[in-house]
Structure 1
Amino acid sequence: MHLTDATWTDVRDCETDLAVVPVGSTEQHGPHAPLGTDVLTAEAIADAGCERIDREVVRAPAIPIGVAEEHRQFPGTMWVSADTFRSYVRESVGSLASHGFERVVLVNGHGGNVDALREVGARLTRDGDAYAVPFTWFDAVGDHSSDMGHGGPLETALARHIVPDLVREDRIDEASEGAADGWGEWVSYANLAYDSAEFSDNGVVGDPRQGDADRGEELLELASAALAKLLEAVAERDVSRPEVK
């Protein structure tokens, strides 16, 4: 059940305590991929994961703005502070829990959100508001995960599969030519760079030419299968907290 399409009486009458919240970002993804890439991919994987399991799941609207100040030099990028993001996600999940949806998987499409989402999940769970678990799709695609960049092969492949009309195919070569090989400038295991504009001319990391639609289809299959497995585990888990020893 998608909350955007449901009525309040539909929600009242549903029989589940399991919900999914896609979380992304509105930020640059090079000259070829849309600013909404992280939201669009999170939504597609959330929907595909829900379809794979034989139980009812409430799908909440996506949270479209995240912790993305590292892309601030590129026009169109939006961001909020980590504090604001954590508060927004926590209160959003809290509102779901108030209606009985007390088991929540946060389906994430943006690397900058990872730490904050883990903190939010822990806080919600420890305080007894809800059992919340973050899931970042590009960590769950097997050997493909090592190719994760930014606007690179994985995100471009998935975008080509789910929203092909939004990928500017005539700019793929430009995106590749201005891309960085890796994230940041590393010396003695320390990253000297804080913003993507410091090491990438056009915001891209990795070669988007290596991400075709067939690869995107495989990524969606792998990520949605992993999400479905997680949803089943969250639905069945004993979420009572351990006693103080």
Structure 2
Amino acid sequence: MPKIPYLYQHHTWPELGEIARSDDQPVVVLPIGSVEDHGYHMPLDVDNFLISSICEEAAKRADGDILLMPLIPYGFETHHMDFTGTIDIKQEHLLNFVLDITKSVAHHGFRRILIADGHGSNMPILELVARRTILETDALCACFIWPGLATKVIAEHRESGPSGMAHAGELETSVYLHLDASRVQMDKAVKDIGMPESEFIWMDLMHGSPVRLMDEWTRFSKSGVYGDATIATAEKGEKFFEGAVDGFVRLVKEFKKRPRGERTDYHKERPKIPGQS
């Protein structure tokens, strides 16, 4: 396999040092997914496959602005452990593990780090990782879950109502069909929206509820699906995928140049308050 310049691990350590010292330093992207149930119709690799595919395609199109790290293939899954095959990394361990990676990257001189998430339940943990990376290093670090990069495209083409895109539903199934339909068993796809929904509590990847509640998954879904997988198509999946990749490239170009103000520690410097000498 020839060397791929946008892959972090394809460089030697002196080469990475030169990249880190460059005035045109790329954004380091750390993808993370999970191994978990995705209904009767899709394999356990959905989150890993989708986020990897989106990151790799974005890196190809980003004109050198992305330096893509190897995928972290496991995530926080305690609530999915009733489903055979799911791999769970406890939240404290996952936080420290991912933080060790981002702090290592920052230690080597990289100043912009994005954590690209493919699994919704990782996000509260990754938000803490990003915040601690900022507070404990000189790097600027942020995280996102990929559907948020394509909100307009998804809203334009989705056919399901609220909760139709929560988990293994219209969105993820459509993108998987676009990328590799041979691994999706649409004859086993179901619509399963079993959680009691209310004014304040529901579940959807695109329009989350104001109150966050996550119970053990089998209490409201016996299939592993939460949403409507039956209306997924490869055609919609292509639009969703392209929307996410396009949004990712634009995000990276913005994040790379994002200005950062000077910090002021008012324990060391007297504040300048209007009207006071």
Same fold (TM over 0.5): yes
- Paired letter, 2:230: R
Select the residue among 33, 37, 41 that pairs with 1:32: 41
Aligned position for 2:274: none
Deviation of residue 59 (structure 1)? 0.5
1:164 aligns with 2:181: yes
Asked if the contact 1:31–1:171 (Cα under 8 Å) also holds between the matched residues in 2, the reply is yes
- 1:67-106 to structure 2, matched below 5 A, reads 67-106=76-115
1:180 aligns with 2:192: yes
Give TM-score scaled by structure 1 length: 0.88
- 1:32-51 to structure 2, matched below 5 A, reads 32-51=41-60
1:154 aligns with 2:171: yes
- Paired letter, 1:167: V
Asked if the contact 1:135–1:227 (Cα under 8 Å) also holds between the matched residues in 2, the reply is no
Aligned position for 2:264: 243
Alpha-carbon distance in structure 1 between the residues aligned to 2:50 and 2:105: 22
Structure 1 ranges of 4+ moved more than 6 A: none
Aligned position for 1:8: 13
- Paired letter, 2:254: A
TM-aligned CA distance change 1:17 to 1:100, over 3 Å: farther
Select the residue among 224, 227, 242 that pairs with 1:203: 224
Query: Deviations along 1:9-31, whole A, 9 cap, x unmatched?
Result: 44344342421111111110011
**Structure showing the higher helix proportion among its residues:** 1
- Paired letter, 2:140: Y
Deviation of residue 166 (structure 1)? 2.1
Asked if the contact 1:94–1:129 (Cα under 8 Å) also holds between the matched residues in 2, the reply is no
Deviation of residue 88 (structure 1)? 0.9
Alpha-carbon distance in structure 2 between the residues aligned to 1:140 and 1:47: 15
> Identity across aligned pairs (percent)?
28
Query: Deviations along 1:45-78, whole A, 9 cap, x unmatched?
Result: 1122223323342100011111111111000001
Aligned position for 1:57: 66
- Consecutive unaligned residues in structure 2, runs of 5 or more: 1-5, 156-161, 202-211, 267-277
Q: How many residues align?
A: 239
Alpha-carbon distance in structure 2 between the residues aligned to 1:169 and 1:113: 27
Aligned position for 1:112: 121
Q: Which has the larger radius of gyration?
A: 2
SS in 1 for 2:245: helix
- Paired letter, 1:171: K
Asked if the contact 2:103–2:137 (Cα under 8 Å) also holds between the matched residues in 1, the reply is no
Select the residue among 118, 128, 134 that pairs with 1:125: 134
CA RMSD of aligned residues (A): 2.2
- Consecutive unaligned residues in structure 1, runs of 5 or more: none
TM-aligned CA distance change 1:140 to 1:57, over 3 Å: closer
TM-aligned CA distance change 1:84 to 1:185, over 3 Å: farther
SS in 2 for 1:203: coil
